[in-house]
Amino acid sequence: MVQEFDVYAALFLHEQIPGWNDLLRDRTEGGVRVRVLIGDPDCEAVRVRGEEESFGHGIQSRCHLAAMHYRPLTATPGIAVRVHSTTFYNSLYRADDHMYANTHLYGVNAYGNPLLRLKRRAPGGIFDAYAASMDAVWRTARPLEE
């Protein structure tokens, strides 16, 4: 059974999975800890990424939408949602020792980038490097306000 679930980015989950928030709430009732990191739509890093990907204000709009979708979860025990203003190098989706890492190539929208499927095999490997990266961003982020 999954004990920890981390999402770094992830607006598409609301777009693709009906009832995504309800699913997260249900999982926390079973003891799963959920952490969600979304970009600050007003930060310089998001603005620059929009320019680099020729997506303009689209990235900012997607960050606003992500905040709108995740905001109802901010008062849910077991779910923490934070906003960061760091440069965005990858999207991460982790459940315990399994992770998907959507690496970001310069100038390419997320959907056009490689997706790596990782499993923690031993301490100190690439899985732990990606997990540490998310933890570092988590420490810089602020809680999403209700």
47-75: pLDDT as tens digits: 877 777 777 677 778 888 999 999 999 99
- The pLDDT tens digits of the residues spanning 119-146 come to 999 999 999 999 999 999 999 999 998 7
Q: Residue 140: phi, psi to the nearest 5?
A: -85, -15
| H or E element that contains 94 | strand 90-95
Q: What is the mean pLDDT of the chain?
A: 88
- Tokens standing for 34? 């959920």
What pLDDT is stored for residue 115 in this prediction?
Answer: 92
Judge whether 108 and 115 are in contact, CB under 8 Å: no
- State both tokens at 121: 């095999």
pLDDT digits (tens, 9 = 90+) for 78-132: 999 999 988 877 889 999 999 999 888 888 877 788 999 999 999 999 999 999 9
45 closest CA partner among 140, 144, 127, 128: 140
* Residues comprising the chain, all counted: 146
